Structures are given as C-alpha cells and as structure tokens.
Structure 1
Amino acid sequence: MAVVGSNEWYGIAYGNGKYVAVGQKGYVTTSTDGVNWTTPKTDGGYKSLMGIAFGKGKFITGSSTVAGTIMSSTDGNAWTTVANITNSDLQDFRYVNDLFFVDSGNGYSYVSADGITWEQINSIQLVNDITYNNGLYVAACYNGIIATSNDGKAWTPYTLGAKSWLDVAYGKGKFVAIGVAGLLTTSVDGHAWTKPTQVVSIRWVFLIYKDGMFVAISQNGYMTTSSDGETWTEPVQMKDESGNNVTSWIQDMIAVP
C-alpha cells in the first residue's frame, strides 16, 4: 500500500496506460503500475477534486471549491478547463456506456457525451453510482431510490425501502444494488427488484463486477465477494503488503480492464 503525499485522495481512474488519482487541494498523481506514483502536484488554486472518470481517450475531473469547473486531460499531467456547468461543487464523476456523469452539491446530476457540453438530467435523488446493460442505465440513489433510464437523461425512480442505495453493478445476468446497513436487492431487468434484505451488517459503499466475481468494499476496509450477487462471503478486513489491517478511509475503487 503506497503512501503518496500528505493530502487525501478522493478519486481514481485508469486510461491511456496509467492510473490517475485526484484529491484534496487539487493535487494529482499518476502511476503506470498502481504501485509507484509520481510526486503529487497542484496548480496552487486549492480546488479539491472529488472524483475523476476516464472515457473517449481523456480524463475528466472537476472542482469542489471553485463552483462548476470541469477539467480535461489526456495524460493526467496537463489539464485544461473545458466547462463551467453549475454554481455548486462537483463530485463523483463517472463514465458509463459512452456518457460522462457528475453530481453536484446542489442535488442535481449532469450528463455529457463529450465532457465539455453538459445537460442537467431530470430531478431524481442524488446519484451514488450508475451501471448499464442492454440499453438500460440503472442508478443507485439516496432515500431508497433506484432509478432507470434509456438515454441517461430522462430517469424513472423506484422506491425500495427508506435506506439509501450506495452502489450498483451488473453481472451474471442481473443488476445488484447494495446499501446502508448491508442491504441488498437484485433485478433481472432493472425494473422489478427483489425485496431488500440484509446480507451483512456492514455499510458497503463500493461494488464492482469483474472476471465472474462481485466485490464489495466498505469505507473502513472490509471486503466481501460473491459469485452470484446473492450469497456473500463473511466480511474480512483488507490487509496491506505487510499484513497489517487497512484502516484508511477508502474513497474510491476501480477495476482495470
């Protein structure tokens, strides 16, 4: 586990042969292997960068303290401001099925085909994550809402209990959503969902599907896996290379193609 700089890192993405991480006070670092990282650097503007996404050959990130600023880079080193889209902070950038998405502190989400021209999507609860399969975008949202869309712009909300859904992924022929208090729900078509059940007692916040396996991680370093999205292993504390428990607050997770 590498310690890079002294500021917090909020987002990570992979593209063009390198990892790029962004964080507090606008610091950025890059790596070609995920182990060795460049010395963090910032432009001095103290624009905390709360997330990053890679798509269409470029990284897209934005500022949490300079309202609405969108920046683009092909290598993670040289950045260009390409848009200002709102009067609020930006967070949680994503690239899903040819579209960029970002949420803002004023409760709205935005979508873009190129990372430059952005459109506010119709109002739903603030999105925590988005996945896609077979013509359907599915979003995990606050206040028990899971929303679906055919184009990434017009969304239909479904209320599944009162607890927030924190992440969603598609694999093994189904959508799987995880939420507060270890809740889980699944759906084959993204519209009809199973009754939320508690499969673990930990608050899971990150979920990915890769190489036939679902992996869920909590912010305080616990991990569980599932081969079908329904039966999960007993949560275990993640370890670093020295065998010590990972207790750092985890902010983001990616699966590299």
Structure 2
Amino acid sequence: MRLTLLLGLSALQAFAAETWLAVGYGGRRMISHDGLNWEITAEWAPEGKDDSNNLMSAAFGAGKFVVVGGAQVGHILNSTDGVKWDEVKKLPFRVNPVIRSGQRFIAGGPNHTLWFSDDGVSWTQGAQAQTTGFPSWALWFRHAACGNGVSIFMGEAGSKKEFYWCMTTADGTQVHFRSDLPQLRAIAFGANTFVAIGNGVILTSADGKNWQKQERPADEKLDWLQWTGIAFIAGGGKTVITSTDGKNWLPSTLRPPGRILWTDGTRFITSSWPGKMSFSADGKTWKASPAMPPNGINAVVKAP
C-alpha cells in the first residue's frame, strides 16, 4: 500500500512540475521545466538536415507527448515524460503535423491521408483527400490547428508546389478538401476563428471551408503565428503584429529574438537557427538559453 501511494505521489509530482518539450532536426527531443534551461533527452543525428531524422511537430494528450516527422520514412513516437521514447508507428513517408483535437490525435500522413489515434499508441488510417489537377503523390502537409469541433490541415501540392490547399475534418474519418488558396505559412485558432497567414495575406474562417481575406500590405512577410489566449500574434523578419479577432491588426510591442514557438500570453519561448532558444517571463525582457550543440527546433509543446 505504501509503495503504491508513493508511486502515485511521484507521478503527481512529475506532472505538477511544468514540462515543455521541443523537437527538431536530427530527431532532437529536449525538455525544460522552466522554459529557459533545456536538457536534450534523445537525438538521432548531430547537425541534422531536412531528412528522415527531422522531427517536425508535437502534441500532448492522454497523458503523453506524441511527436511526428521524417522524410522517406515517417515516424510517430510517444513518451509520458519526454525522456523515454517509444516509436509506435513507421510509415513510408513523412508524418506531419500532429494535433490533439478533443480526445483524439490526428496527423497528416503519406498519400494525402490522415491518421488518427485516441491514445497516441494505436493508429488508424483515416480519410484521404480526393485530389484533382495534380499528381496524387505531389501533396505535402505543412500546418494544422483545431477548434469549433473541426481540425484543419494545410499545405502545398503540385509537381512545382503551385497549389495551396486546406483539408477540414471533424474526426479524421471524412474530409472536405479545397486547393484554391494562396500560399500560407501558419495557422492558429482563437476567438472562435481560424487565422492563416502568409506573405502579404491573412485569411480568417469559422469552419475551415469558407475563408475571408483580410487586407494586408503586399510586402508584409509573415511566417509564424500564435494564439496567446486573448490575442493572435504573427511575425516574420522584423514585423510583429497582433489582433484580438484575426481581422483587425495592429503593430505589436513584442520584439522576440526568434520565432515564437510557444506562449500562454505572459511567457514566451522562441527559437532561431540552429536551435538557439530564448525565454521571456513578460514579453519584454528576453533571456538566451544556455548554448547547446546545433540542431534546428521546429516545435514546442507544454504538458499538461
């Protein structure tokens, strides 16, 4: 009885401490308990490239982290603590991105097909987009977000990557697909609205099927986007803008030293190439994390 109680207390204490996971090139996985100091817990290759070792996306749910990536080989891995990892699925091409939508993980997989899992361990092949106008192999998943009961995946397609598409699903088993969007570089959900951004373009939607274009300067370069809990923040280069509704945007006072990969509206975690991490507790003062061997970071997620 005492041993069982101690084990239970240990598990509670482990999750009581805040834990962030960052993933990236070379299969790097690293954790932090304060957002500033990071420990590399697993890695496949030093100074990794955009190859089968590249881990590109992460989500948390059902008591575990789920991480995906790859190139000629696709990986799905999970971990309860960010330290010990199990590869639960390999696919013949990249898996990316992955999100936790309600009680389900949904990921973009090979052959323009979704994969889903409730527990992050057992994965089921889901719906496939019915594509026209380009070869069936020529479709790449890039970004995803969920809200309002749906999940939205976005990417590019065509032998010259000349089509930009959106795939909307409630649970991974059926999809609505369109391939007539402008080039988009990020998507987020907040204020009951999906916002997608690109260079000189911002789109908004309530359902992922119907999109409205918000007027922006044609030379504005945007490549990252986050929802803070009360507002969207988007940036690229020296530009940082903010909006509470996704439609009306103003310059932001934030001056992050890299792409903002995670925020709760007060605290911020950024990364710049090749894996230089920074942290701010207030969005004003930024601290550089201790230097680590180079490997670019693609995503940061927090548990729980």
Give CA-to-partner distance per residue, 1:156-195, whole Å, 9 cap, x none.
123444x22333333333322223x231122244433224
| Contact 1:185/1:195 (<8 A) preserved | yes
The one-letter amino acid of 1:138's match is: I
Give CA-to-partner distance per residue, 1:59-118, whole Å, 9 cap, x none.
11245267233221101111112222x211333332222222333465544222222223
Q: Kindly tell me: are residues 202 and 38 of structure 1, through their superposed partners in 2, closer, same or farther at Cα, counting changes over 3 Å? A: same
2:22: which partner in 1? 21
Over alpha carbons, which structure has the higher Rg? 2
Give CA-to-partner distance per residue, 1:38-61, whole Å, 9 cap, x none.
245436798332322211111112
The one-letter amino acid of 1:111's match is: F
Q: Kindly tell me: are residues 252 and 73 of structure 1, through their superposed partners in 2, closer, same or farther at Cα, counting changes over 3 Å? A: closer
Separation in structure 1 between the aligned mates of residue 273 and residue 93 of structure 2, nearest angstrom = 28
What pairs up with 1:97-112 in 2 under 5 angstroms? 97-104=102-109, 107-112=112-117
Whether 2:118 is the aligned partner of 1:113: answer: yes
Separation in structure 2 between the aligned mates of residue 22 and residue 226 of structure 1, nearest angstrom = 28
Separation in structure 1 between the aligned mates of residue 30 and residue 107 of structure 2, nearest angstrom = 21
Task: Determine helix, strand or coil for the equivalent of 2:212.
Answer: coil
1:178: which partner in 2? 197
TM superposition shift of 1:214: 0.6
| Contact 1:91/1:105 (<8 A) preserved | no
User: Which of the pair has the greater relative contact order for Cα pairs under 8 Å at 6+ separation?
Assistant: 2
Separation in structure 2 between the aligned mates of residue 49 and residue 212 of structure 1, nearest angstrom = 29
Task: Determine helix, strand or coil for the equivalent of 1:165.
Answer: coil
What pairs up with 1:36-115 in 2 under 5 angstroms? 36-39=37-40, 41-42=42-43, 47-64=53-70, 67-84=73-90, 86-104=91-109, 107-115=112-120
TM-score by length of 1: 0.74
1:168: which partner in 2? 187
Q: Kindly tell me: are residues 255 and 205 of structure 1, through their superposed partners in 2, closer, same or farther at Cα, counting changes over 3 Å? A: farther
Separation in structure 1 between the aligned mates of residue 173 and residue 215 of structure 2, nearest angstrom = 30
| Contact 1:53/1:93 (<8 A) preserved | yes
Separation in structure 2 between the aligned mates of residue 91 and residue 189 of structure 1, nearest angstrom = 21
| Contact 2:98/2:144 (<8 A) preserved | no
Whether 2:224 is the aligned partner of 1:206: answer: yes
Q: Kindly tell me: are residues 182 and 237 of structure 1, through their superposed partners in 2, closer, same or farther at Cα, counting changes over 3 Å? A: farther
The one-letter amino acid of 1:87's match is: P
Q: Kindly tell me: are residues 188 and 195 of structure 1, through their superposed partners in 2, closer, same or farther at Cα, counting changes over 3 Å? A: same
Gaps of 5+ in 1: 1-14
| Contact 1:222/1:237 (<8 A) preserved | no
TM superposition shift of 1:253: 5.6
1:252: which partner in 2? 299
Task: Determine helix, strand or coil for the equivalent of 1:25.
Answer: helix
| Contact 1:128/1:165 (<8 A) preserved | no
Q: Kindly tell me: are residues 255 and 77 of structure 1, through their superposed partners in 2, closer, same or farther at Cα, counting changes over 3 Å? A: closer
Task: Determine helix, strand or coil for the equivalent of 1:212.
Answer: coil
TM superposition shift of 1:27: 2.5
TM superposition shift of 1:226: 1.0
TM-score by length of 2: 0.64
Give CA-to-partner distance per residue, 1:101-157, whole Å, 9 cap, x none.
333465544222222223143126533333333323333333333332222331112
Q: Kindly tell me: are residues 150 and 26 of structure 1, through their superposed partners in 2, closer, same or farther at Cα, counting changes over 3 Å? A: closer
Q: Kindly tell me: are residues 239 and 36 of structure 1, through their superposed partners in 2, closer, same or farther at Cα, counting changes over 3 Å? A: same
1:132: which partner in 2? 146
Separation in structure 1 between the aligned mates of residue 151 and residue 63 of structure 2, nearest angstrom = 22
Task: Determine helix, strand or coil for the equivalent of 2:145.
Answer: strand
| Contact 1:111/1:121 (<8 A) preserved | no
RMSD in angstroms over aligned alpha carbons?
3.4
The one-letter amino acid of 1:194's match is: Q
2:167: which partner in 1? 147
Q: Kindly tell me: are residues 96 and 206 of structure 1, through their superposed partners in 2, closer, same or farther at Cα, counting changes over 3 Å? A: farther
Separation in structure 1 between the aligned mates of residue 40 and residue 175 of structure 2, nearest angstrom = 41
